[in-house]
Amino acid sequence: MRVLIVEDERKLAQVLSSALEAEHYDVVVAATGEDGFYRANAELFDLVVLDLMLPGRSGLEILQTLRQRHVETPVLILTARDGVEDRVLGLDRGADDYLVKPFALPELLARIRALLRRGRSSEILRLKVANLEMDLVARRVVRGDRAIDLTGREFELLEYLLRHQGSLVSREMLARDVWKEPRRATPLDNVIDVQMARLRRKVDLDGAARLIHTVRGVGFVVREGEP
């Protein structure tokens, strides 16, 4: 599997490329938007990891032009933490998935595997469990015919749970991948529990089958039916 990484931060590009090489991917790194565009356009890749903040030609421009030229290689975009707008624009312009910086390498590798399994499809931009559906582009959540209004953090939390549905999600995973504060002085457990309780009140209303389950002392799992 051939992967193109378009990333101007040299250190990050190096870390990514060694992690991917360790998983036996064939990796090409482009350090500028120009080079990234040229290669993605001229060579064949199974996947492109595309940073959006690049000097010269931006990630969004590259993505848009590639799609206009019918280059259908799956693209995973890397966005800044506060770049919600970029994320939405990126998905709108044909990205297949996104990760917010900083991210943990295991999460990146899992996303890459998922994308390579599915190939190009919009499936990944909609997450579903039972009658709950998340649209990552429009940032809308519905359960049955009821729209659910979530805060930014609640949305990220639910998205993470749905991406890992059926598997146990620990508080450590949430601290690392959603809060992105793995080395905080005070534990995040209380914050996580409070947010989770709020999310659950919105998602699992009285009468509806429960989707967010607590596994005592360990974490949470999203699934249809009891774990």
* Residues within the interface to Ca ion (CB under 5 A): 8, 51, 53
Beta carbon of residue 101, minimum distance to Ca ion (angstroms, whole number): 9
**Residue carrying the six token digits 């940032």:** 139
For 86-147, give the secondary structure using H, E and C. HHHHHHHCCCCEEEECCCCHHHHHHHHHHHHHHCCCHHHHEEEECCEEEECCCCEEEECCEE
* 186 Cα distance to chain centroid: 26
Beta carbon of residue 36, minimum distance to Ca ion (angstroms, whole number): 11
Spatial contact of 200 and 212, defined as CB atoms under 8 Å apart: yes
Beta carbon of residue 52, minimum distance to Ca ion (angstroms, whole number): 8
Residue 161, burial from CB neighbour count under 10 angstroms (0-12, 13-18, 19+): buried
Beta carbon of residue 9, minimum distance to Ca ion (angstroms, whole number): 5
Which residue, judged by CB position, is nearest to Ca ion in the bound state? 53
* 105 Cα distance to chain centroid: 12
Quote the Cα angle for 227-220-196, to 5°.
130
Collapsed DSSP state (helix, strand, coil) of residue 63:
helix
Whichever of 101 and 118 has its CB closer to Ca ion, that residue is 101
Whichever of 8 and 97 has its CB closer to Ca ion, that residue is 8
Whichever of 10 and 201 has its CB closer to Ca ion, that residue is 10
Whichever of 8 and 86 has its CB closer to Ca ion, that residue is 8
Beta carbon of residue 78, minimum distance to Ca ion (angstroms, whole number): 8
Whichever of 180 and 223 has its CB closer to Ca ion, that residue is 180
Query: What's the half-sphere exposure (Cβ side, CA atoms, 13 Å) at 192?
Result: 24
Whichever of 35 and 51 has its CB closer to Ca ion, that residue is 51
Beta carbon of residue 60, minimum distance to Ca ion (angstroms, whole number): 12
